Amino acid sequence: MTIDPNGRTVQGVTDFVLFAVLNVLFLVTCLPVVTIGAATSSLLEVTYRYADHERGNLVRDYVSALRRNLARGTAVFAALGVPAAMLVFSGVFWLSLTSVVSAVAGLLCLLGAAYLLASLCYGFALVGTHEARLGQTVRNALLLSLAEPLRTMGLVAIPLTGAALLYVWPVSWVFAVTVGFAFGAYLQALVLRGVFARRAAGADLAPVNPHSGE
């Protein structure tokens, strides 16, 4: 019996293995914590190209992207992720109190945190796919969250659904550790393709990162 290396079955197994290696590599590169921004930007970059049928080499391209996105990815994480975490902490604090004013303050804090977290998703994607200065990248991320409300909800729903599954179904941790994060990034990339296509047509975004086609 001969096996066709280009057959669907072999290609499917190969893709699964590559996604598994990419997923583990992503988790390892997130361990220093300060590299989470660069790691997530790079993961979205390679899965975005994969979703756009420009396959390349997921693992090798991720390592290359990680070096390239280190500074900007970390800066975007600090600019949007840190304030979001502070708002979450403040929201939980205010909601722990019993007055009406504190409840309103808590809800406002959580709404602000949700907005910044949605913008953070766009920010990571923009770092990996578009060439722009840090200020412009953050500005575009903040504007995209407002300009694309439906797609933004879909973009945020993907990691929230994953987090909910991890909480209510412990077995899902096995999936998360093997391919879960890479698969989630791929689903987000499908959403981002639609957003970036619409905005590029309107000249709202900077040119695509010239390195992203390597």
* Arithmetic mean of pLDDT, 45-73: 89
**Length of the chain in terms of residues written:** 214
- Span 146-175, pLDDT tens digits: 999 999 999 999 999 999 999 999 899 999
pLDDT at residue number 197:
83
Q: What residue segments make up the domains of the chain, in order of their start?
A: 8-70+126-140+149-213
pLDDT at 210 over 50: no
The mean-pLDDT minimum among 36-45, 91-100, 205-214 falls in 205-214
* Arithmetic mean of pLDDT, 68-86: 96
DSSP state string for the chain: ----TTSHHHHHHHHHHHHHHHHHHHHHHHTTSTTHHHHHHHHHHHHHHHHTT----HHHHHHHHHHHHHHHHHHHIIIIIHHHHHHHHHHHHHHTS-SHHHHHHHHHHHHHHHHHHHHHHHHHHHHHHB---HHHHHHHHHHHHHH-HHHHHHHHHHHHHHHHHHHH-TTHHHHIIIIIHHHHHHHHHHHHHHHHHHHHHTT-SPPBPGGGG-
**Between 207 and 87, residue with greater pLDDT:** 87
pLDDT at residue number 55:
63
